[in-house]
Amino acid sequence: MANEKYTHIDKVVELMGERHAVNCAVERSGAVIMDADVITRIDTVIEVVSRELDGYLRGHVSVPFEDYSTGNVPIDVEVMVRGYVAYRLWARRGRFDKENPHFDEKTLFFQRVRDIQTGRWRFETVDGDEVAEKEVYYETNRKTDDIDRRSAGRRFTDTSLSDFTNPHA
């Protein structure tokens, strides 16, 4: 479980460019992408962001997703993690928010996290399972225990019931 990552160094380097990835990863001149400290730093950021995503989605969908090395991470997840890893690497150089060239990827990451949590953004795993499929609950007629979808007037999801209080308690 500790080795599960949702993107790979090659993908991050492809997004950032090799020179930027190296410069953001380590504070020494003459480093190259194949240096152990560069690989370790980028790999650590990938693992941290992957676990951060799991933390945001835990309780909303089944995580962790399959291990990246098996090729079973949904492409949607890989893309959002890759972008946020690039943002975090640039942030190591003191470039935050609008000063960071990957600010849009950070924004996309958190927007998709919110959309997955609320069930508004759905995607399929490689196994064909739908992620963020939410059950819909309708009001039940208390007298007949019948579900009346037309007259209920309100659609309940597992997140919209969070502030519900029982008026008969």
Is the pLDDT reported for residue 142 higher than 60?
Answer: no
pLDDT, residue 1, reads 44
Helix and strand element counts for the chain (H, E):
6, 4
Q: Note the Cα 76 to chain centre separation in Å.
A: 9
Encoded tokens for 9? 């160094």
Task: Please indicate whether residue 61 or residue 155 has the higher confidence score (pLDDT).
Answer: 61
Contacts of 5 (CB under 8 A, 6+ apart): 43, 46, 47, 50, 67, 68
Q: What is the pLDDT of residues 12-23, one digit of tens each?
A: 999 999 999 999
Q: Do residues 85 and 45 make contact, with C-beta atoms less than 8 angstroms apart?
A: yes
Q: Where are the domains of the chain?
A: 9-127, 135-169
Q: What is the mean pLDDT of residues 68-87?
A: 84
- Nearest partner of 73 among 3, 145, 138, 124, judged by Cα: 124
The residues facing 105 across adjacent strands are none
What is the spatial distance between Cα 105 and Cα 19, in angstroms, rounded to a whole number? 19
